[in-house]
């Protein structure tokens, strides 16, 4: 189960961890490469797919929507040896399910690491 704070979000299906950096880019006439200055990183970004069941979809959808209150919570993927992170819930969407298992719904959640003082 994926947990965000004390809320269980469903069974973990797939996850992806990424990072990005911000660059200040200034084009210089006559040069083929712009001047670039590294302004820093944005922290980790998590894309998490969880599995929920239609009978509790309305309840789960309202819980997941309420997570977008810009409050930081601990994201725990409950993977052996994987650390927890303080994150904000950024967005969520339902993903079309294959016809193999019509009794489940995949929910894709996006979290961003939050480490402000």
The predicted structure's pLDDT at residue 98? 67
- If phi > 0 it is left, if psi is from -120 to 50 it is alpha, else beta; for residue 6 that is alpha
> Are 51 and 10 within 8 A, CB to CB?
yes
- pTM metric for this prediction: 0.76
Domain ranges of the chain: 2-113
From the CB of residue 44, how many other CB atoms can be counted at a distance below 10 Å? 17
| Tens-digit pLDDT string for the chain (117 aa) | 889 988 888 889 899 999 988 999 999 999 999 999 999 888 899 999 988 877 777 777 788 888 878 888 999 998 989 999 999 998 888 877 666 666 778 888 999 998 865
Query: CA 44 to CA 42: how far, in whole Å?
Result: 7
User: In the CATH hierarchy, which fold is given to the domain comprising 2-113?
Assistant: Elongation Factor Tu (Ef-tu); domain 3 (2.40.30)
Query: CA 56 to CA 103: how far, in whole Å?
Result: 11
């Amino acid at each position: 189960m994926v947990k965000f704070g004390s809320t269980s979000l469903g069974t973990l299906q797939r996850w992806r961890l990424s990072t990005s950096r911000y660059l200040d880019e200034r084009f210089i006439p006559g040069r083929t490469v712009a001047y670039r200055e590294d302004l820093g990183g944005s922290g980790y970004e998590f894309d998490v797919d969880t599995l929920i069941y239609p009978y509790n979809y309305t309840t789960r959808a309202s819980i997941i929507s309420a997570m977008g209150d810009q409050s930081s919570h601990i994201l725990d993927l409950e993977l052996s040896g994987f650390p927890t992170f303080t994150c904000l819930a950024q967005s969520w969407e339902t993903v079309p399910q294959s016809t193999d298992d019509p009794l489940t719904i995949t929910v894709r959640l996006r979290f961003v690491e939050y480490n402000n003082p």
